[in-house]
Amino acid sequence: MFSIQQNIEELRKTIDGNIKIIAVSKTKSEQEIMELYNCGQRIFGENKVQELLSKYKNLPKDIEWHLIGHLQTNKVKDVVSFVSLIHSVDSPKLLGEIDKEAKKQNKIVNCLLQIYISDDETKYGFEKIFLEELLKSEMLEELKNVKILGLMGIATNTDDEQQIKKEFKQLKLLFEQTKNNYFAHSEEFKELSIGMSGDYKIAIKQGSTMIRIGSLIFGERNYF
């Protein structure tokens, strides 16, 4: 028997309470989101701006909306006013654009830098070498309206658990290095967003602080 309530309760039982669950509600209806909301869930993740906007408009205002999918620069202005965290900042240009819009709207926007860690060719993210470049540059100092809370990654879509573990481990290492080298005096740089329905247990062992869970809570997605 499938039930959103049972699924979330099962999941909560198996993980440490300090780890945040981002309920990935893409393609799911507002009714399904409300069902989970009524189980106490307040953090929801969407990967498409259009869908995020309409759900934000129609659903309770105490929901924390996280954007987890690729963000085009021309859509930045639509999300800056209300989004709680953007997991998917994948270029310096996008980061600059978010800062610019945030400044206009008198906001500080929380961001994670998405790092490319997988073998899959379609996934967005910073190559590690460009991350280093960004961190070394003066740019970060100048961006006063974005706050970088940590790193995000998506592992290769594979059954090979050793490979997934290796990718997460490398990202955790990069996270530690980045923290030590560039955010040593920041209390804010502390989030590592890794782990989805298929690999969250591996991710947690490697130090995840935020897991992004869709199908395990809501059931398989149907794309029409």
Ligand X SMILES: *Cc1c(COP(=O)(O)O)cnc(C)c1O
Q: Which residues contact ligand X by CB under 6 A?
A: 24, 26, 47, 68-69, 154, 196-198, 212-216
Least Å from the CB of residue 204 to ligand X: 14
- Residue 116 token pair: 């490319």
Residue among 95 and 143 whose Cβ is closer to ligand X: 95
- Shortest distance, CB of residue 130 to ligand X, whole angstroms? 19
Q: Residue 166: in which H helix or E strand, if any?
A: helix 161-182
Chain residue at closest Cβ approach to ligand X? 214
State in angstroms the smallest separation of the CB of 94 from ligand X: 15
Q: Are 73 and 97 in contact (CB under 8 A)?
A: yes
The distance of closest approach from Cβ of residue 20 to ligand X in the complex, given in angstroms and rounded to an integer, is: 13
21 residue type, one letter: I
Residue 86 or 143 having the CB closest to ligand X: 86
Coil, helix or strand for 181?
Answer: helix
Q: Which is nearer to ligand X, 145 or 215 (CB)?
A: 215
**Closer residue to ligand X in complex, CB, 45/92:** 45
- From the centroid of its chain, how far is CA 82? 15
**Alpha-carbon span 122 to 224, nearest angstrom:** 21
Which residue is associated with the tokens 């980061």? 95
Question: Amino acid identity, residue 76?
Answer: V
CB of 201 to ligand X, least distance (A): 12
Q: Which is nearer to ligand X, 18 or 223 (CB)?
A: 223
Determine the straight-line distance between the first and last CA of the chain, rounded to whole angstroms. Answer: 24
- Cβ neighbour number for residue 205 with a 10 Å cutoff: 13
